[in-house]
Structure 1
Amino acid sequence: MAKQEIRTRPDGTRYPITPKKGGGAKLFVGAVALVTVVGSGTAVGSGVAGLGGAGMEAGSAAEALPGNLSGEVADSLPGRSLKTRTSEGRKSAQRGRKSETFGRFKLKQLDQAVKHEAQCLAASTDRVREYLARHRCTSLDRGLYAVGDGHGDAAAISLVRVRFPKKSDATGCEKVEKIQGSGDVKPLGSAALGLAGLSFSGHHYRSRIDRRTLVIAEVETITGHLDAGTLDALADVSVWFPGA
């Protein structure tokens, strides 16, 4: 049996590093060629899905999300298919019940950060920014949520709500946002959760129009492994969380 590596945090406490199959204790956070819940689907980096970007050692990720290293997470839908979990998760999301929503996937919320802004241009890029220069938004809400299974597997969900004076403005922005390479309404900076270097690839992305508001959700792995189907499902349900 391979010897388990022990590392020391700055405060002097020690923690074990368990290598993943395939070698190495180093895990990467960030981009691949995020809820965001937001994004245009624009490729931010390159590499294999879930890998790339600035990178984050397992120990660093563990320190940033300590609640994900221990504690069982109740499975509210034992034995159910991902399709059923997604359907039930959407119902919970529409009611604004985040803990219940994530519990549908045997996950728990680890951390969150939210920000309300009065304008959107500074948070947008490329053709999306050009659109917003012509069709000014009335407000921008951005949220970033970390969820995990209690055993080291975690994901970030970016959720963005862009409000406009008219529904047609929101619909027009969504059309531009969905085009690959058109730009983005940028997710809330990952440093808000102590996850510097996290980027969203646009591979796990959903959007919808809520009256005069464009809602965008995007999901990306932070550490460990969550399969692509689950990441897509998290975007599918998170985009239905109601606004504040």
Structure 2
Amino acid sequence: MAATSGIGGGGAASLDSAAGQALKGKTSSKKSAQQGRHSEAWQRLGWRQLKRTAKRELKCGPHSFGEAQRFFLRHPCVDLDRLIVTIGDGAGNTIAVSVAWVKMPKAREASELKRLIDKDGTGNVALLGETAHGGRFTGENYDSRLDRKLVVIAESAPSAGRPSEATLETAVEVAVEFPAP
């Protein structure tokens, strides 16, 4: 049974309105992300970018693990860009969001890579902010997308406070939309 408050169940209407506003914020945030406007994308969700570190690599093999690393030995990537940002909500909750853009020589190889890394336990590109043994990012809050020869991978993890699972998931849904640097 749903809990409502106020006269005539106005609480349920408020919840619907809040859900609609959250969806609208997520949609506009994704549009900003697709245009490469990082700070604006986070601000549309009520978050602020606190820190940002980026790194470019020419080889993916040394920056991957598991079956993904073996894949890169057979199919070297063209380019690897990695980014980690820390975002905060102003209430003590902070999230680390790591994104990797892997450019492959052929669209077919990019598709094979995405199919491989989207399976649990097959390895992945080592994300910035990850420890040597894969700590911090667990794969729980993960998203990826394919754009011809490009595979974009995003993961999030709490840094401080207690951000909700929905917040962690929204962060990767937005981050995976950022274009390659």
Q: Normalising to structure 2: TM-score of the pair? A: 0.84
Residues 105-133 of structure 1, C-alpha deviations (whole Å, 9 max, x = no match): 21000001000010011111111111111
The correspondence for 1:171, drawn from 81, 99, 111, is 111
Higher relative contact order (CA 8 A, sep 6+): 1
CA distance 1:131–1:190, change in 2 (3 Å) = closer
Name the CA distance, whole Å, in 1 between partners of 2:157 and 2:174: 14
1:138 has 2:78 as partner: yes
Residues matched between the structures, number: 162
Task: Give runs of aligned pairs for residues 12-91 of structure 1, distance below 5 A.
Answer: 79=18, 80-91=20-31
Shift of 1:234: 1.1
Partner of 2:14: none
Give the secondary structure class of the aligned counterpart of 2:146: strand
Q: Percent same amino acid at aligned positions?
A: 34
Which residue number corresponds to residue 102 of structure 2?
A: 162
1:202 equivalent to 2:142? Answer no
After TM superposition, give the deviation of residue 91 of structure 1 in Å. Answer: 0.6
Matches of 2:165 and 2:87, distance apart in 1: 15
Task: Give every structure 1 segment of 4 or more consecutive aligned residues whose post-TM-superposition deviation is greater than 3 Å.
Answer: 78-81
Structure 2 unaligned segments of length 5 or more: list them. 1-16
Q: Which amino acid aligns with 2:52?
A: Q
- Label 1:112 to 1:151 Cα distance change in 2 as closer, same or farther (>3 A): same
Higher helix share: 2
Q: Contact between 1:198 and 1:222, CA under 8 Å: does it hold in 2? A: no
1:135-180 deviation per Cα after TM superposition (whole angstroms, max 9, x unaligned): 1101111100000012311000000011111111111001110111
